Amino acid sequence: MTNSKMKLVGFLALFAMVLMAGCNSFKSPAETLNVAFTALKTNDLKLFKKSLTGAALQKFGNRTAMQMLDSNITRFELSMGTMNEMDYNPYVIDKPSCQHGCSTHAERHYSVEILGHAAPGIVSAPNPRVLMTATMLCTSDANGSPDSISCKISDIEEVPVIGDL
């Protein structure tokens, strides 16, 4: 293989990795939930864990719990319902004597309803229904720079499904 062909193959491989990495974005609650939904559908524990933090990671960060969560929602097409900002907390990360400058960050907490729509061919009432509420933690620099934003699911509260679907 010539040197120029090797460079082209290397470039294409790098380009493909960048595209694949971009598919799993955690820049907003919606993108993070999309990653989590995809991970559940494909039984990808590693990817699912990347979308979790805190209590959600403790409760659902293992294969058994993830599969149990998936079995409760597998009959539904999932979507994001109402999202409410719960709080906003700016804070300073104090580096020892701030030799390289102090860094100011912000946290935002959101409450997001996860809706379940009856999968094609399944009659269900009401449609859609709230299956769970996810608490999202989004962190960023104080200015909210898009490159600094990272969102994770910090808690998941399942809503009991009453009746047969």
Q: pLDDT tens, 90-136? A: 765 555 555 555 566 788 899 999 998 876 666 655 678 888 999 99
The per-residue pLDDT for 163 is 53
Phi, psi of 116 (to 5 degrees): -115, 125
Q: Which region, left, alpha or beta, applies to residue 59 given φ > 0 means left and ψ of -120 to 50 means alpha?
A: alpha
pLDDT single digits (tens) 23-48:
688 999 999 999 999 999 899 999 99
* pLDDT surpasses 90 at 60: yes
Phi, psi of 68 (to 5 degrees): -65, -45
Q: Which residues, in sequence order, are CB contacts of 103 under 8 Å at separation 6+?
A: 92, 93, 95, 141
Query: Angle at which helices 63-73 and 29-42 pack, to 10 degrees?
Result: 100
Phi, psi of 80 (to 5 degrees): -90, 130
* pLDDT surpasses 50 at 140: yes
pTM beyond cutoff 0.75: no
Q: Smallest Cα–Cα separation from 38: which of 155, 81, 30? A: 30
The per-residue pLDDT for 44 is 96
